[in-house]
Amino acid sequence: MDTATVEYLGELRIRATHVRSGDQFLTDAPLDNHGKGEAFSPTDLLATALANCMRTLRGIAANARGLELKHLRARVVKHMASGPRRVERVEVHVTMDGTDLGEAERTLLEAAARTCPVAKSLHPDLVQDIHFIYG
């Protein structure tokens, strides 16, 4: 089954539709690459997909062990390089209330996050700078 349909809307804007659910989102080329920058760029989505995937795998691991993930958030920073233009580094700063988690549980959840399929699919030259912060 198809995953998505993608439609060019003009002016470097794209609409993607998830086939199964019908959910949609827009992308724009970034300001520094001839675009309007009014929506996520494709490279923004790549960086954000890493954080989303890590969160999903942490959630699966937590659910399997009856752990509650409280106030889980991530801040994503994308660093671009030129020659050729590409994502050079992605910082993911994961924060959560970990006061109820022991060291073994934190280690398990961090390991689960690092096994996400997006992380494993990215080119090895792309630096994945991952930080876990517990409050």
Same-domain check for residues 75 and 106: yes
What is the rounded CA–CA span in Å between residue 106 and residue 3? 33
In contact, 6 and 16? CB cutoff 8 Å: yes
Same-domain check for residues 53 and 82: yes
- Among 11, 50, 53, residue whose Cα is nearest residue 28: 11
The tens place of each residue's pLDDT in the chain, 135 residues long, gives 999 999 999 999 999 999 999 999 999 999 999 999 999 999 999 999 999 999 999 999 999 999 988 888 999 999 999 999 999 999 999 999 887 899 999 999 999 999 999 999 999 999 999 999 998
The predicted structure's pLDDT at residue 100: 86
Same-domain check for residues 20 and 73: no
Same-domain check for residues 61 and 115: yes
Strand order in the sheet with 86-97: 70-81, 86-97, 127-134
The predicted structure's pLDDT at residue 98: 80
State the total domains in the chain: 2
Same-domain check for residues 124 and 107: yes
Containing structural domain, residue 102: 42-134
Same-domain check for residues 65 and 128: yes
The predicted structure's pLDDT at residue 135: 84
Same-domain check for residues 75 and 120: yes
Same-domain check for residues 79 and 110: yes
pTM: predicted TM-score of the whole model, two decimal places: 0.93
Q: What is the CATH number of the domain that holds 116?
A: 3.30.300.20
Same-domain check for residues 18 and 78: no
Same-domain check for residues 76 and 28: no
